[in-house]
Amino acid sequence: MNTPQRSYRYYDLVMAAFVCVLLCSNLIGAAKAAQLTLPLIGEVSFSAGVLFFPISYIFGDILTEVYGYGRDRRVVWAGFAALAFAAFMAAVALALPPVPDDFNRAYQAHMEGVFGNTWRIVSGSMIAFWCGSFANSYVMAKMKIWSAGRWLWMRTIGSTLIGEAVDSGLFYVIAFYGIWPDAQVAKIALAQYLLKTTWEVVMTPVTYRVVAFLKRAEHEDWYDRNTDFSPFHIRV
């Protein structure tokens, strides 16, 4: 006899927020390259999506900490499916011939500039997200067991260091290796990695508050002691 699955008050809302952040950071922020001059560092170039994409890793930490790896796995697959559909929809929309007037011809050019990413960039983004998110969740779940649920800050930061390293490394190699000079690929990947992981450190107090609230509200504090960690199915 199968044990009925528990229902949660906020799990679906957290999933929706995760997918929203993921889509916005990839579709809106990724198209703009920004440059800031930082104290002691100098000029730093980065994708505007870097300001928001790390929030998806914070959601991943929260989901794994409260609901467990299995439920975070479902959210990662939901995000991956949303990215795949968005990429397909963008490709179809760009392929459709525009109305032959000045406004729509100009609008088509603007759309191509924003959404006309190469197949390497799209593939790199999706593969890097999938691998990095599962690496983050796996490390988070294992560290929780090892630490007996203590030192949440160490688990969130430690898992993000691994997950973001996988994400940044895969994305820039897949998207730009052989196009940019090797030194430039490594430099920009490192800069993105440092910015993303710094976000995790800065947001640690917020993560603590959200985790504490959800644990109280859901009466849940999951430990993945008997979890099947295969990323290739969605059952809990």
Buried b (16+ CB within 10 A) or exposed e, 21-34: bbbbbbbebbeeee
Count: domains in the chain: 1
Using DSSP, how many helices (H) and how many strands (E) does the chain show?
8, 2
Q: Could you tell me the two tokens for 22?
A: 């993921």
Residue 227 included in any domain: no
What range defines the domain where residue 47 resides? Answer: 11-218
Residue 177 pairs in a beta bridge with 180
Residue 229 included in any domain: no
Angle at 25 between CA 22 and CA 31, to 5 degrees: 140
Residues of the chain under the 50 pLDDT cut: 1-3
Question: Among residues 20, 9, 148, 150, which one has the least CA distance to residue 67?
Answer: 9
Residue 45 included in any domain: yes
Angle at 191 between CA 78 and CA 196, to 5 degrees: 35
**Would you give the distance in Å from CA 67 to the centre of its chain?**
18
Q: Mapping DSSP to helix (H, G, I), strand (E, B) and coil, where does residue 28 land? A: coil
DSSP for 76-133 reads HHHHHHHHHHHHHHHHHHHHSPPPSSHHHHHHHHHHHHHH---HHHHHHHHHHHHHHH
Residue 89 included in any domain: yes
Instruction: Please report, as a single letter, which amino acid is at residue 6.
Output: R
Residue 5 included in any domain: no
Quick one: pLDDT at residue 42? 73
Q: Are 91 and 118 in contact (CB under 8 A)?
A: no
Residues with Cβ within 8 Å of residue 172, at least 6 apart in sequence: 124, 185, 188, 189, 192
Residue 235 included in any domain: no
Quick one: pLDDT at residue 27? 79
Quick one: pLDDT at residue 29? 65
Q: Read off the pLDDT of residues 50-65 as tens digits, 9 standing for 90 and up.
A: 778 889 999 999 999 9
Residue 225 included in any domain: no
Residue 224 included in any domain: no
Q: Could you tell me the two tokens for 5?
A: 């699955």
Q: Read off the pLDDT of residues 19-43 as tens digits, 9 standing for 90 and up.
A: 999 988 887 766 666 777 777 767 7
Quick one: pLDDT at residue 3? 47
Quick one: pLDDT at residue 1? 41
Single pTM value for the model: 0.89
Q: C-alpha distances in angstroms, 187 versus 148, 173, 175?
A: 37, 12, 14
